[in-house]
Structure 1
Amino acid sequence: MSTTTAGQGRMPRQIAYIIGNEACERFSFYGMRNILVPFLVSSALLGYLPAGPERDGAAKDIFHMFVIGVYFFPLLGGWLADRFFGKYHTILWFSLVYCAGHACLALFENNATGFYTGLFLIALGSGGIKPLVVSFCGDQFDQGNKDKAKVVFDAFYWIINFGSFFASLLSPLFLRHFGPAVAFGIPGALMFVATFVFWLGRRRYVNVPAAGRDPHAFFEVVKTALRARRPGQGRPGLFVALAGVAVAAAMLLLWALSATTGLRAWPAGFNFVITACLALGVVIALGGWGASLQLERARGVHPDLAVDGVRAVLRIIIVFALVTPFWSLFDQKASTWIIQGREMVIPHDAPWWPSWLVQDAAQMQALNPMLVMLLIPFNNLVLFPLLERLGFRITPLRKMGWGIAISGASWIVAAVLQLQIDGGAPVSLAWQGLPYLLLTFGEILVSATALEFAYSQAPHAMKGVIMAFWYLTSTFGSLWVLLTNAAVRNEAVIGRIAGTGLSENAFLMFFFAGFAFLAALAFAAYARRYPMQDNYRKA
């Protein structure tokens, strides 16, 4: 593989292999992801539960636990790539694991052990490559052609949705007409193609080598800062960080006691996945806070550039934390919104409805990638230039803040539709197009912008890790969903919801909308004082 830099001012030719790989991989991922809930609701795997809300709830839980895994394993992939193997080899090897997971789904549709093993392998493979493909794409650019990077990041996000569109549109039809083996097998074949296309470009890539054991890496600087003593001063940061570890360990211990002894030491609805995610969140939050309290003590032991880099990462993590409520809304389009759509009326009699193609509520998810492909060029060519001419300064953080708020508005619309359904009125499935439009516009403002933001803000030696932290925002987004699902299984909570006069589904939709609005306000307050960086590599 080449280690030369990309040509001055030119679009790197090797980008075509990365984009082609991403298009096939996204079809693969969304092809299985977007039929997972419909499959589980009707499969023998959940046949032990009565059809209706109980089985729907179990399917949602499995889906969101899978999503948590997908966005947790980027931590592993980022660490392996940065520390040992480099991005190229890590992507290639995890892609093979990914292929094996798809094979399990196709082969074990009626075997719980085999099927859930497949979900685990897909979560491991997809998650392992997730923080690396975008940053590997960014590695192909330097200061001489970084102006092309924004075009590619937008194209990257566009091609993701190109693959997602056809997967979302066709996979429910494959499931309906050909069964799970074919419906899960086709995405598996596309993942094999994705891996092969990526391998074809191996001799052209700019390959930034793994840093190895960097004595000035993020966690090394943090450890030095926490351990350092100063005459006459305590170590409050170390105390805060250790408190986070102690609280996390206590959570896991209480869960273990509840699971093995039957003691009510931990909330009954908080399974291992929820508990582990909560523990991880406590460690990150208190560990980061503790490190920030004593970070200046690392100067002298580590170069100023490394210490300043850690400070930048800690600031970025706060931005990421404030984005997690967005993902709690966005990822439910493949669970809550599908279940809502199954209660709506498909307008087959309407002359404008494509009955020959759209036959299942799950296919409405195809609206999301289709709208992305339309709205990205509209925003870049029409909306953003117009707003700039009107005097509005468009910045990445402003776009992300507005995106969270607009996503909240989409859930207000979905809740109003749910009220109509609960009232017994027949509601056309076509009405789901409106919340999809708002959610997709919010997604573009948040997620497409964050791809470039995360890469440009991360110091060079920490790009893989910071991308892993970005994808971890989706883990915590699904955690909020699991927590609310667990909460509404409590009789006291159910009683309070009933007292509002709303159904459980409608109440939760309004709840998530309010959650997003509060997050948008907090995001805007923090964004006003965030110092932007420029960390593209020099030519």
Structure 2
Amino acid sequence: MSKTNHLTAPDPKETGWPKGVKYIIGNEGCERFSFYGMKSVLQVHMTALFVAGAAHEQLAEEHAQEVVHLFVAGVYAFPMIGAIIADRLLGKYKTILWLSLVYCLGHLVLSLGENTVTGMMMGLGLIAIGSGGIKPCVSAHVGDQFGKANWNLVAKVFQAFYFIINFGSFFATLAIPVIRNWEQQYDFAFSIAFALPGVLMLLATIVFWMGRKVFVHVPANPGGKLGLLDAATSTFLFMGLIGLPMFGMEFLSTTEFLISCAACIGAGLATFFYRQKLQPDDGFIAVSLYSIGAMFSGTNYVARTKAANEEAGSIHRNWFFAAAAERFGTITAEGPRAVIRIVSVFFIVSMFWALFDQHASSWIRQAKQMNLSMWGGWSLLPSQISALNPLMVMALIPINNYLIYPLLSKFVIEMTPLRKMTLGMFMASLAFACVAILQTWIDTAGAKNVHALWQFFPYLVITQAEVMVSITGLEFAYTQAPTRMKSTIMGFWLLFVSVGNKFVAVVTKFQDKMLDWFSTIIGTVVGAERVAQSSELAMFFWLFTSLMFVAAIFFGLRATLYTYKSYSQDE
């Protein structure tokens, strides 16, 4: 008889803090230091590598920027796989532990292979799999530790969670660039700047492992063979529909790419139908595929006819899900419909992430051209300025919750989640207008004649946008999705962060063509001569300012058409 030495459900009588929380919080602090520390020097380091490979400085910066955003895109794409593996096959604890080891291996490869592009790409790939895979699991795992008696502490633990994330980010962004600078000055034999984040990630893994006996281990459902088939189905379909289209064209020929996509989709569908024969499933994929089949077979039309007396908004009269509601039940069919409605909102938000994550790339490129000297004879490093973001986040959250939102709701308009997000997206456009104006000033005054502290203002605006879009977006998703679809929604939320970063990588890769097109359009408004006097980086900022402004308008229109629907915890 097997014996487990851990709980599989929280103690319903426990009123205090769960014993495992301290290990999860400690793990998160170390992991975030690891990730943001490495990321803080990535743009600068990759630029140096490309310059060493005989690339022109500007071209090297653009290549480095493309790599940074492809890496971030990978980090935010892989949560779709991590969530399925955790929920269906291994459980959250094992998923986090094993992928943390992949994460550590990635840091080791970076530290050993930092002087080659190949070594860096291999290390970044492993980190993307590890970091991305555990991303949707950690916050869900901390929530699993709480039962009914201490559920009132959940809000506090997530506040601590968010604080430790920003705490780790702030100190990592200050410390790791300094260490890398010392390496350059004193010609260290090995990379401490990449090794130290790896040590912190190893420490994070050890701290997490230490809590294994006191954690609540919610078992995977269904687990076993069925869980393996579910994970395989999702992985194949993800690679065929998302993974390869986003990243495959970088490495495969067109023929290889098309064959690989078709093979992955075919394998995913074959695995899915085999799994359904063993035991029918009513998850997102099952309901969606059944609905597609019902559309072509006419079953959906028949189901709608039967439900003619239902209310107009009933899912039993829905043009796509009527047959699914008849077969799987109203609540089950409502899940995928809610996901599609929310995804139609999230898709536009991907443009926000295209702008926000540039504080780790193009904003650093701008900072390198600015005066970095400070009082007392010391100087900032370009990568350190982004430490403003986590500090501002911690300050702006209470200011918004207790001052800005109440005042706007009282004197202007009720601040619903989608209105907050719409305003935040316009703020993001304003932030890029600020850096575009700064870049024009730098181009006019000359390099090193504009102080880097002027970036404080765009950082303040983009961080305010982050608070209004990111945090509010999660709130919106969780209130608008049925309980069983919340993990799926989180996966899509993170996926659209990936889409935004992929978009930046594509624009950077084809920057010359994009800027020629944009310059022609802008030239008709402000004059071709004025556009010709602007640097490529300034025009790059103005391009994203305009794209974000247009996206914010479309988002606002979508928000006005969105009908809110609340779901109880049992739905």
1:101 aligned to which of 80, 98, 106: 106
Contact 2:12 2:148 in 1 (8 A): no
Cα distance 1:141–1:24, how it changes in 2: closer, same or farther (>3 A)?
A: same
* Corresponding residue of 1:215: 281
AA aligned to 1:205 is F
Contact 1:346 1:428 in 2 (8 A): yes
* Corresponding residue of 1:531: 564
1:342 equivalenced with 2:363 (yes/no):
no
Partners of 1:316 and 1:138 in 2: CA distance? 23
Shift of 1:346: 1.5
Give SS of 1:347's match: coil
Shift of 1:494: 8.1
Name which structure has the greater RCO, CA cutoff 8 Å, separation 6+: 1
Contact 1:456 1:536 in 2 (8 A): no
Contact 2:295 2:320 in 1 (8 A): no
Shift of 1:300: 2.9
Contact 1:146 1:536 in 2 (8 A): no
Shift of 1:11: 6.1
Mean Cα displacement is larger for which, 436-445 or 377-386?
A: 377-386
Partners of 2:97 and 2:377 in 1: CA distance? 40
Give SS of 1:300's match: helix
Cα distance 1:222–1:488, how it changes in 2: closer, same or farther (>3 A)?
A: same
* Corresponding residue of 1:314: 340
AA aligned to 2:48 is S
* Corresponding residue of 2:203: 193
1:414 aligned to which of 424, 435, 453: 435
1:143-183 deviation line (CA, Å, top 9, x unaligned):
66655444433432222111100011111101000357100
1:121-141 deviation line (CA, Å, top 9, x unaligned):
000000101122222233344
Partners of 1:48 and 1:190 in 2: CA distance? 31
AA aligned to 1:437 is L
* Corresponding residue of 2:293: 227
Cα distance 1:149–1:407, how it changes in 2: closer, same or farther (>3 A)?
A: farther
* Corresponding residue of 1:286: none
Cα distance 1:158–1:403, how it changes in 2: closer, same or farther (>3 A)?
A: farther
Shift of 1:29: 0.3
1:435 equivalenced with 2:458 (yes/no):
yes
* Corresponding residue of 1:297: 323
* Corresponding residue of 2:549: 517
Cα distance 1:61–1:148, how it changes in 2: closer, same or farther (>3 A)?
A: same
Give SS of 2:114's match: coil
Partners of 2:436 and 2:398 in 1: CA distance? 30
Partners of 1:8 and 1:530 in 2: CA distance? 39
Contact 1:143 1:537 in 2 (8 A): no
1:484 equivalenced with 2:510 (yes/no):
no
Contact 2:29 2:168 in 1 (8 A): yes
Mean Cα displacement is larger for which, 146-155 or 221-230?
A: 146-155
* Corresponding residue of 1:288: none
Cα distance 1:144–1:537, how it changes in 2: closer, same or farther (>3 A)?
A: farther
Shift of 1:206: 3.5
Cα distance 1:34–1:208, how it changes in 2: closer, same or farther (>3 A)?
A: same
Shift of 1:534: 4.1
Alignment of 1:254-273 (within 5 A): none
Contact 2:63 2:509 in 1 (8 A): no
* Corresponding residue of 1:287: none
1:395-448 deviation line (CA, Å, top 9, x unaligned):
333322222221111111111001111113421111001101111111122222
Cα distance 1:66–1:204, how it changes in 2: closer, same or farther (>3 A)?
A: same
Contact 2:294 2:300 in 1 (8 A): no
AA aligned to 1:520 is A
Partners of 1:9 and 1:435 in 2: CA distance? 46
In the superposition, the TM-score normalised over structure 1's length comes to: 0.81
Partners of 2:40 and 2:343 in 1: CA distance? 29
AA aligned to 1:177 is W
1:372 aligned to which of 382, 390, 393: 393
1:23 aligned to which of 3, 12, 29: 29
Partners of 2:434 and 2:459 in 1: CA distance? 10
1:59 equivalenced with 2:64 (yes/no):
yes
AA aligned to 2:56 is A
In the superposition, the TM-score normalised over structure 2's length comes to: 0.77
Contact 1:150 1:452 in 2 (8 A): no
1:206 aligned to which of 201, 205, 216: 216
Shift of 1:189: 0.8
Shift of 1:83: 1.8
Partners of 1:6 and 1:390 in 2: CA distance? 46
* Corresponding residue of 1:127: 132
Partners of 2:542 and 2:15 in 1: CA distance? 48
- RMSD over equivalenced CA pairs, Å: 2.7
Shift of 1:7: 5.0
Shift of 1:10: 4.8
Which ranges of structure 1 fall in alignment gaps of 5 or more residues?
A: 236-291
Contact 1:344 1:429 in 2 (8 A): yes
Partners of 1:94 and 1:111 in 2: CA distance? 25
* Corresponding residue of 1:468: 491
Cα distance 1:297–1:533, how it changes in 2: closer, same or farther (>3 A)?
A: same
Partners of 1:229 and 1:385 in 2: CA distance? 46
AA aligned to 1:436 is Y
Shift of 1:507: 1.6
Partners of 2:75 and 2:96 in 1: CA distance? 14
Give SS of 2:282's match: coil
* Matched length: 476
Shift of 1:385: 4.4
Shift of 1:61: 0.9
Shift of 1:18: 2.1
1:337-391 deviation line (CA, Å, top 9, x unaligned):
000000111133xx4xx754x5311110111111112222333344444545557
Cα distance 1:312–1:446, how it changes in 2: closer, same or farther (>3 A)?
A: same
Cα distance 1:536–1:22, how it changes in 2: closer, same or farther (>3 A)?
A: farther
AA aligned to 1:228 is A
Mean Cα displacement is larger for which, 412-421 or 208-217?
A: 208-217
1:270-328 deviation line (CA, Å, top 9, x unaligned):
xxxxxxxxxxxxxxxxxxxxxx8522221232122110111111112122112101100
AA aligned to 1:76 is I
Mean Cα displacement is larger for which, 450-459 or 217-226?
A: 450-459
Higher gyration radius (CA): 2
Shift of 1:28: 0.5
Partners of 1:301 and 1:134 in 2: CA distance? 34
* Corresponding residue of 2:354: 328
Give SS of 2:8's match: coil
Alignment of 1:421-460 (within 5 A): 421-425=442-446, 426-460=449-483
Partners of 1:216 and 1:398 in 2: CA distance? 34
Which ranges of structure 2 fall in alignment gaps of 5 or more residues?
A: 1-5, 185-189, 227-279, 302-317
